[in-house]
Structures are given as structure tokens and as C-alpha cells.
Amino acid sequence: MPPAPHDRPHGLLDRTFGLTANGTTARTEIVAGVTTFLTMAYILFVNPSILAAAGMPEGPVFVATAIAAIAGTLIMALAANYPIALAPGMGLNAFFAFTVVLTIGFTWQEALAAVFCSGILFVVISLIGLRRAIIDAIPHNLKRAISAGIGLFLGIIAMENSGIVVDSPATLVTAGDFASAPVILALVGFALIAALNAIGLVGGTIIGILVVTVLGVPFGLVDFQGVVSLPPNPAPTVFALDFAKVATGTFWIVVFSLLLVDLFDTAGTLIGVSSRAGLLDKDGRLPRMRQALLADSTATVIGSLAGTSNTTSYVESATGVEAGGRTGLTGVTVAVLFALGLLFSPLAATIPAYATAGALLFVATIMLQGLADIDWKDPTEVAPAAVCAIGMPFTYSISEGIGLGFITYVLVKLFSGRLSDLSPGVVLIALAFGTFFVFG
């Protein structure tokens, strides 16, 4: 049966994105793009609130978040022709704010410079093919532990932002006031977001954030700023990079940590989403991988110049794939919607911390799935993975958690006589972190 008139591929779109060759239509791709956007639009509200902890102005960061998402998604769509959307990454923004700025002591301008350098390095290793060698050098269990550890780190940030946990001189952390409205609303928000995602409601996360925000109105917890207006002035964060620390070892440890997390996050998302879409070749490889990685790394460079943390491929793109997205037209649709989203900056400023805390906590639970893929039968694999994952929330630092994981991995393998398990890359990374811990 021939397709209905509105389903027939348009000539230019068909030639540009290969709609017919990929067994899809313009309408299907647009619906898939809307679906993907709704599942990841929360980043417009969450990213500014996280980077505000580093002292960054929320309005300009809102604009930078949209710019990074638009640029990265368009590059992915037009250069690689994949239905994969990009935006500033969860976990990477927390690392930027809570580790690089609040723990290590960088200014946010210096942290943006580190993001810029990590993006440039990502471009270089993608061009020369070093990316695969780096990924292959890192043990599988440590890769999964890094993802899970970032989830745990996001979890403690979410609980801290909502008041579920508070600091204590006796026990470091303790329970907050569970009778307070922000704590109750944050827990309700988390449960609502989890439930809406469980039943497959498109946009469940953003819906949960908005519902809980409204619930806070009777308690006087919402400072309503409006819904729609022209975008804020992005000038305070545009080209605000400060390279004052570029000659220090600490700066390059930060750059390497950003690169490492971004690299694994991107590779995992690209393979996972592409597998669902049936885009992998017969050998399980992703065609046009270089273009896809260049899109991701270039978006990080653009995002840093605009004023945000690393940009990465979003696993939420899988929702668009499930809706039928197979080409870059899905991404173009997402980019257009992020551009329209620039008009909603007052709504972003209205969203309180307890409302985004539920979304953060839900993202944390998703990232903890990485623990399921760890080989729990081998103590020499489990111990470093556990130290890596647990180390992130308890040191309040993603980079230090990663470093502890690599150092533990090398020491455990060395003491157990399993030197053959150690690649030169892992040893070099462990030595670099050890040097930083001792002399940094």
C-alpha cells in the first residue's frame, strides 16, 4: 500500500536525510523529535540551577544551555545524520560546579577554560583515532563504576538541595527536617517523576518538575517570574573563559577528568541508542562514528564559549528512536524546539530547587544501572569499582572518585599477581592521579 500523501517523503528532506533509505517519513521523524525534546527539556531548568552553585548567573546559563543543545544537535543531525540529541551533560555539570569550583577552588571562568580544553582534546583524539585506544585501555568494570558513581554523586546533591540530608559535625551528614514543605515536595516530585516515566508518559520528567513547582505555591515557596519573554542577555558568560591556571597540573587533571567522563558517556550513549535504532553494522559498529564524536566534541567547545559545562549525547534520545526516529531530521526538530525554548527563561527562573531535586534524584537512579553490569564474582574487579563509585559522593568529587578507582585497580591487581590484567594506559592514569593526590 502506498503511503498517505502526508507520509510521502519530501524531495529535499528525503535527499538530505535519506528518509526512504532508512524506512521512515518526515512526519515520523518530527514526532520522534518532539518526543525526544520533551524527555530532555528538563535540562533547560536543571542546568542553570546546578551551575548557579558555582556562582554563574542563571539567565545567561539558560541561554548557553539552549545554544549548546541547538549547536550540538544540529551538527549531529547534519554531519552524522543520526537521531541523537545533545545538551550539557548531567554529572558533568555537577563535576563543574561542586568539584572544580567549590572543592578545587577554580573560578567558574577558569572552569569554563578547562571545559574548552577538554573539548579541543576530544576533537583531536576523535580526528586521529586515539579515542578507541583510550576506551579500550579502561577496564569495563571501571567504566560502569564511573557512571554509577556519578549517579550517587547526583543523588547526594539532590538530597542536599532539597534538605533531605543536611551536614552534621558528628556524622558528616544526617537527615533533614522531613516535616518541612521542601523535603516533602521533593520526595513527592521524585515519586511522581518515577511513576510517570514508568508508565511511559512522554515528558514525564518535565511534567513532574512543573507539577511540584505548582504544589509549592500555597506554601509561599515559589517566586513566580513569568512564563515567556525574550531570552536573557548572554553576555556575562559568553567568551568568559579564564586560562590563568593553564600552566598548573591541577588544571590538566581537571581537563583529563572531564574528557574521560565525557568520552565514556558519549560512547555508551551513541552505541546504546544506535543499537535500539538498528543503526549498527553487522560487526556491531556504528557507521560515521567519527562524525558523531566530532559533533559531540565540537558542541562542548561551542558550549564552553557560550558559558556552560560539557555537552554530550543524551540517552533520552532513545525515546525518539522508540517513536520511529532514524535520521538527523529528528535532531533538527529537537534543535528547533530548543530554539523556541529560549523564550521560556522566566519559567526556568521560577523553578525552585526542591522541584529540580526530584528530577536529579531520578536521573541518579537511572545512572546506578551501571552497577548491574559489573562482574561481582571477581574481587579484583569489584573492589576498585566500588571504591570508584562510593568515592565520588563521599569525597564530593567525581575526579577524586575516578582517581581512587584507578589507583585501587592497579594496586589490587599488583598485589594479587595479575599483572597481565594491567594495560599501560591504566597504569599511566593511576600514576597521574597518584601524583596529583600527593603533590597537587
Tell which of 363, 397, 430 closes a domain: 363
Q: What is the mean pLDDT of residues 414-420?
A: 91
Tell which of 334, 363, 392 closes a domain: 363
pLDDT in tens, 328-363: 999 999 999 999 999 988 887 788 888 888 887 888
d(CA 55, CA 327): 39
Task: Return the SS3 of 228.
Answer: coil
Tell which of 363, 396, 428 closes a domain: 363
Give 408's contacts (C-beta < 8 A, 6+ positions apart).
Answer: 383, 384, 387, 388
Judgement on whether residues 15 and 104 belong to the same structural domain of the protein: yes
Cell digits of residue 329: 531530521
Give 130's contacts (C-beta < 8 A, 6+ positions apart).
Answer: 124
Taking 80 as the threshold, does the pLDDT of residue 318 lie above it?
A: no
Judgement on whether residues 215 and 246 belong to the same structural domain of the protein: yes
- With CA atoms as reference, report the closest residue to 399 among 88, 100, 50, 53: 100
**What separation in angstroms does the CA of 281 have from each of 286, 287, 292?**
6, 7, 15
pLDDT of residue 394: 87
Judgement on whether residues 81 and 204 belong to the same structural domain of the protein: yes
Higher pLDDT, 403 or 129: 403
Q: Are 187 and 358 in contact (CB under 8 A)?
A: yes
Q: Could you tell me the pLDDT band of residue 10, with boundaries at 50, 70 and 90?
A: low
Cell digits of residue 49: 540551577
Span of 38-42, 246-250, 306-310 with lowest mean pLDDT = 38-42
Q: What is the mean pLDDT of residues 154-176?
A: 86
Judgement on whether residues 283 and 379 belong to the same structural domain of the protein: no
d(CA 406, CA 419): 14
Residue 416 belongs to a domain: yes
- With CA atoms as reference, report the closest residue to 110 among 96, 122, 123: 96
Asked whether the CA dihedral 221, 224, 230, 233 is positive or negative, the reply is: negative
Q: Are 93 and 108 in contact (CB under 8 A)?
A: no
Q: Are 18 and 81 in contact (CB under 8 A)?
A: yes
Residue 70 belongs to a domain: yes
Q: What is the mean pLDDT of residues 80-87?
A: 92
Counting residues of the chain whose pLDDT is more than 90, the rounded percentage is: 38
Judgement on whether residues 81 and 216 belong to the same structural domain of the protein: yes
Q: What is the average pLDDT score of the chain?
A: 86
- Give φ, ψ of 168 to 5 degrees: -145, 130
Q: What is the mean pLDDT of residues 159-176?
A: 87
Judgement on whether residues 46 and 86 belong to the same structural domain of the protein: yes
Residue 366, exposed/middle/buried by CB under 10 A (0-12, 13-18, 19+)? middle
Judgement on whether residues 351 and 383 belong to the same structural domain of the protein: no
Measured from the Cβ of residue 52, the count of other Cβ atoms closer than 10 Å reads 15
Residue 370 belongs to a domain: no
Residue 309 belongs to a domain: yes
Judgement on whether residues 93 and 149 belong to the same structural domain of the protein: yes
**Angle 403-143-330 from CA coordinates, rounded to 5°:** 125
For 297-364, the DSSP string reads: HHHHHHHHHHT-S-EEE-TTHHHHHHTT--SHHHHHHHHHHHHHHGGGHHHHHH--HHHHHHHHHHHH
Q: What is the mean pLDDT of residues 21-50?
A: 88
pLDDT of residue 132: 64
pLDDT in tens, 367-402: 788 788 788 889 999 999 999 999 988 887 777 888
**What separation in angstroms does the CA of 341 have from each of 35, 63, 83, 305, 373?**
15, 9, 19, 20, 36
Residue 183 belongs to a domain: yes
Residue 399 belongs to a domain: yes
Q: Could you tell me the pLDDT band of residue 116, with boundaries at 50, 70 and 90?
A: very high
Judgement on whether residues 347 and 379 belong to the same structural domain of the protein: no
d(CA 286, CA 354): 40
pLDDT of residue 368: 84
Q: Are 121 and 258 in contact (CB under 8 A)?
A: no
Cell digits of residue 416: 594479587
Counting residues of the chain whose pLDDT is more than 70, the rounded percentage is: 93
pLDDT of residue 439: 66
pLDDT of residue 288: 80
pLDDT in tens, 423-435: 888 888 888 888 8
Residue 409: give the domain boundaries: 375-440
Task: Return the SS3 of 109.
Answer: helix
pLDDT in tens, 125-155: 888 877 666 666 678 788 788 878 878 888 8
Secondary-structure percent of the chain, ordered helix, strand, coil, rounded to 5: 70, 5, 30
Judgement on whether residues 258 and 390 belong to the same structural domain of the protein: no
pLDDT in tens, 230-262: 899 999 999 999 999 999 988 998 998 888 778
pLDDT of residue 276: 66
Higher pLDDT, 195 or 221: 195
Judgement on whether residues 48 and 162 belong to the same structural domain of the protein: yes
pLDDT of residue 1: 44
Cell digits of residue 127: 580526528
Judgement on whether residues 340 and 395 belong to the same structural domain of the protein: no
Residue 66 belongs to a domain: yes
pTM of the model: 0.76
Domain count, the chain: 2
d(CA 82, CA 324): 12
pLDDT in tens, 278-307: 777 776 667 787 888 888 899 999 999 999
Residue 368 belongs to a domain: no
Ramachandran sector of residue 176 (left: φ over 0; alpha: ψ -120 to 50; beta: rest): beta
